[in-house]
Structure 1
């Protein structure tokens, strides 16, 4: 379910049309995007937009109840991982609900993206800076 205003029309539309448990992926510049998923390509140049800025924008619009992250993200890119977890914890406080965080191997993560309604590609060039958000409800 959509929560607020977002400038990117394509991304705003996808979020507005999510149902309970639908998923979207936010990914770095290198993650393979399945042909069957809608691609929302925000990447301009390396690093723009960043993964974290994109996550913040999406969390401003989307109610989430679950998160899937590659296990490798914690150890390979710990600063970005910590920033993502901090945003998720903040979102839990704002919505007053627990958000489930699940870790899976990166290869399984890539396969799981096939379940996403859309994959949002950022300009991020940090390894494993990818997340799958599962849509929740605002009530």
Structure 2
């Protein structure tokens, strides 16, 4: 048995398979997931697991070179936006309308569904490289 890190087999395999510029989505429980896009459904009940807990676990294992958020998060979920900024202040952020973010999920390697039940708690993470 693994001693640390992500224990979920599907999520662990997804992160290990990512290459430079591949994208993944961490989503709230309401984001529609396009047919044909892999889904890792971690949701158990409304609110659990929370978005930030999943984001923190992923950030421990993934080199992130850029991220995309819905423009609406700034106004409609400012606390979540502030928490994301605190965690990823050194990563370039792109903002797009929520409808465009939903379109962008079609090209993601997978969508990780959380139990988060607050508006616009969705993020697209672009994998970087850790050559240093």
Q: TM-score range by the shorter chain?
A: over 0.9
Q: What is the match of residue 42 of structure 1?
A: 42
Residue 103 of structure 1 corresponds to which residue in structure 2? 95
Aligned residues: 128
Please state if 1:126 is matched with 2:118: yes
TM-score with structure 1 length normalisation? 0.90
- Which structure dedicates a bigger proportion of its chain to helix? 1
Matched, 1:116 2:108: yes
Q: CA RMSD in A?
A: 0.9
Which segments of 5 or more consecutive residues in structure 1 lack a partner in the other structure?
93-98
Residue 129 of structure 2 corresponds to residue 137 of structure 1: yes
Which residue is equivalent to 2:75?
Answer: 75
User: How far does residue 5 in structure 1 lie from its aligned partner after superposition?
Assistant: 2.6
**Alpha carbons 2:5, 2:57 under 8 Å: kept:** no
Q: Distance in 2 between matches of 1:101 and 1:48?
A: 26
Structure 1 ranges of 4+ moved more than 3 A: none
**TM-score, normalising length: structure 2:** 0.94
